[in-house]
Chain A
């Protein structure tokens, strides 16, 4: 039984079917595990909690990386492609993250988390709240305490300067 020519049919939440080559589909550890004991030429795997738009994105990722590995694509090209791939709105980004986590695609999960981390880095609390449309749910007291905590570094230097 060869892996070549095997097709995996992935069915999204909204019942859309995606025909994917075996090697591409098994970049998902979940699918690889499901297919382990199956030997039919064509296997249908339902992906109940990922919609078609997101699943298409995930498959696009797997296809590119499967191919990139096969033709030994350069690191820089892959980096650039990854960066472009991650140029999506927040909603899609989070959906991709959830899908990558469910399908267990380690590289995509890392890429997604890194992208979110890149959005958070060097931002102020207010900017982060605005970016992700979240509201501060701390009490006044907690807020004040946190301001104090986060200033520990500069506080210490003031003390130190005084000691000199």
Chain B
């Protein structure tokens, strides 16, 4: 029997479509009338949305302003990458921006901690986390287009510094003139009419996860994203600021490995030797500290730190910073393994506890490492001895030597409004 592709039933052709990307489907649909009909079937796009963007984002119910999965595909293929946590490279303060899909829009919120307690460390838990919306991006397909490709015109609402969201504008994609990576990327620019003008750009590399080339992991693609938000509260262009955002990923804790003990204190030299390695046993019930924490950096106020566990070390990197040690810098780096008794006799814990007698929790172990201190402008930056104090309640503090001050850290819970 002689069989051509046209002998395949519609449902099989539709299934083939769900393994393609939007561009290829559109090309295929242009090759003959039968394919065109199959390509425009709603279930094709519904399945494509679910496969590419997941059950939550790829569900039309989440997007009341859209009426078809084809529109949803067109919207999400450009903006699904927005969702996640972003680090705003604003020197020296830095910014934590979370973008989530809610109520039919991508809402970007700036996360900040306000400290309502006194300088008394025992009140450190009295910080309040706020997540103020700074932009809202909702799709809306333009009217009168009933064909395969819909021209759409998302309404964009932007607000600055927690003020009410106001003004609307259009968001377009333009090709990037200076790609951040070798692959093609695009940027989205938002123009707000009126006296506020906000620029909003999204660089995205080409998605290449279709067909049998499924090897490139999605995380790798995501890492290459850059998000640009440009704000100007005044019409004068000279007041515009451009903020570059980089995607933040919290990597899961790695198993502890043997590591050279001297590495921590000799940092930043990256030359390590195989000598002085010690075994790194770690209690299996040791809590994973990975994630966002905040601590009171004295007069600078509360700052947000991203803690990661790379197996040998626990590192705290500043998401928000201050003029002395700015955002993006490592504030402490300690061994993943608690000090043994022969290095720190058990009396040490007692001495520490006495030093910290205003703390209403017990120090249960100490991890040695380094902490960053610097003068204003990150001048004379140096590594000093730092000790991570693990408290019985699961929180931790970092003791900075020789100054002898302790910064307590509390886990940051980003509110979901």
Chain A contact residues, CB within 8 Å of chain B: 51, 83, 90-91, 94-95, 97-98, 101, 109-110, 113-118, 120-125, 128-129, 132-138, 145-146, 149-150, 152-153, 156-157, 159-161, 163
- Of B28, B151, B172, B173, which is within 8 A of A120 by CB? B28
Contact B16 A133 (CB under 8 A): no
Q: Which residues of B contact A51 (CB under 8 A)?
A: 1
Interface size class of B (residues with CB under 8 A): 35 or more
Q: Is B280 among interface residues, defined by CB-CB distance under 8 A?
A: no
Q: Which residues of A contact B172 (CB under 8 A)?
A: 156-157, 159-160
Number of residue pairs spanning A and B whose beta carbons lie under 8 angstroms apart: 115
Task: State whether A116 and B32 are in contact (beta carbons under 8 Å apart), knowing that A94-B4, A94-B8, A157-B173 are contacts in the complex.
Answer: no
Q: Is B348 among interface residues, defined by CB-CB distance under 8 A?
A: no
Q: How far is the CA of A159 from the CA of B191 in the complex (A)?
A: 13
- Of A101, A110, A125, A160, which is within 8 A of B27 by CB? A125
Contact B20 A156 (CB under 8 A): no
- Of A117, A146, A149, A156, which is within 8 A of B211 by CB? A117
Q: What are 21 A-B contacts defined by CB distance under 8 Å? A: A51-B1, A90-B4, A91-B2, A98-B12, A101-B9, A101-B12, A109-B15, A113-B16, A116-B5, A117-B20, A118-B212, A128-B31, A134-B32, A138-B32, A146-B30, A149-B148, A150-B26, A152-B151, A156-B151, A159-B172, A160-B174
Contact A83 B212 (CB under 8 A): yes
Expressed in whole angstroms, the minimum distance between the Cβ of A49 and any Cβ of chain B is 9
Q: Is B189 among interface residues, defined by CB-CB distance under 8 A?
A: yes
Most buried by B among A115, A123, A128, A159: A128
Task: State whether A113 and B19 are in contact (beta carbons under 8 Å apart), knowing that A128-B27, A135-B32, A153-B173 are contacts in the complex.
Answer: yes
Q: Is B161 among interface residues, defined by CB-CB distance under 8 A?
A: no
Q: How far is the CA of A124 from the CA of B210 in the complex (A)?
A: 16
Q: Which residues of B contact A83 (CB under 8 A)?
A: 212
Q: Which residues of B contact A146 (CB under 8 A)?
A: 30
Most buried by B among A90, A115, A118: A118
Q: Which residues of A contact B395 (CB under 8 A)?
A: none
Write the B7-43 contact mask toward A (1 if CB under 8 angstroms, else 0). Answer: 1110110011111110010111011110000000000
Nearest B residue to A94, CB-CB: B3
Task: State whether A94 and B5 are in contact (beta carbons under 8 Å apart), knowing that A114-B19, A136-B32, A150-B26 are contacts in the complex.
Answer: yes
Expressed in whole angstroms, the minimum distance between the Cβ of B17 and any Cβ of chain A is 8
Most buried by B among A97, A110, A145, A163: A97
Mostly, the A contact residues are helix
Contact A137 B212 (CB under 8 A): no
Q: Is B282 among interface residues, defined by CB-CB distance under 8 A?
A: no
Known contacts A117-B17, A132-B5, A135-B32; 16 further A-B pairs (Cβ under 8 A): A51-B1, A91-B2, A91-B4, A94-B5, A97-B8, A98-B12, A114-B212, A116-B16, A121-B24, A125-B27, A125-B30, A134-B5, A134-B32, A137-B32, A153-B173, A157-B175
Q: Which residues of B contact A157 (CB under 8 A)?
A: 172-175
Q: Is B343 among interface residues, defined by CB-CB distance under 8 A?
A: no
Most buried by A among B4, B16, B18, B175: B16
Contact B5 A149 (CB under 8 A): no
Q: Which residues of B contact A133 (CB under 8 A)?
A: 4
Q: How far is the CA of A160 from the CA of B9 in the complex (A)?
A: 42
Contact A121 B211 (CB under 8 A): yes
Most buried by A among B28, B33, B151: B28
Q: How far is the CA of A123 from the CA of B37 in the complex (A)?
A: 19
Task: State whether A113 and B32 are in contact (beta carbons under 8 Å apart), knowing that A149-B149, A156-B173 are contacts in the complex.
Answer: no
Q: Is B147 among interface residues, defined by CB-CB distance under 8 A?
A: yes
Contact A113 B175 (CB under 8 A): no
Contact A121 B5 (CB under 8 A): no
Q: Which residues of B contact A110 (CB under 8 A)?
A: 15
Nearest B residue to A154, CB-CB: B175
Expressed in whole angstroms, the minimum distance between the Cβ of A45 and any Cβ of chain B is 20
Q: How far is the CA of A90 from the CA of B4 in the complex (A)?
A: 8
Q: How far is the CA of A98 from the CA of B1 in the complex (A)?
A: 12
Q: How far is the CA of A83 from the CA of B214 in the complex (A)?
A: 13
Nearest A residue to B78, CB-CB: A153
Q: Which residues of A contact B174 (CB under 8 A)?
A: 157, 160-161
Expressed in whole angstroms, the minimum distance between the Cβ of A57 and any Cβ of chain B is 13
Q: How far is the CA of A148 from the CA of B145 in the complex (A)?
A: 13
Q: How far is the CA of A89 from the CA of B2 in the complex (A)?
A: 12
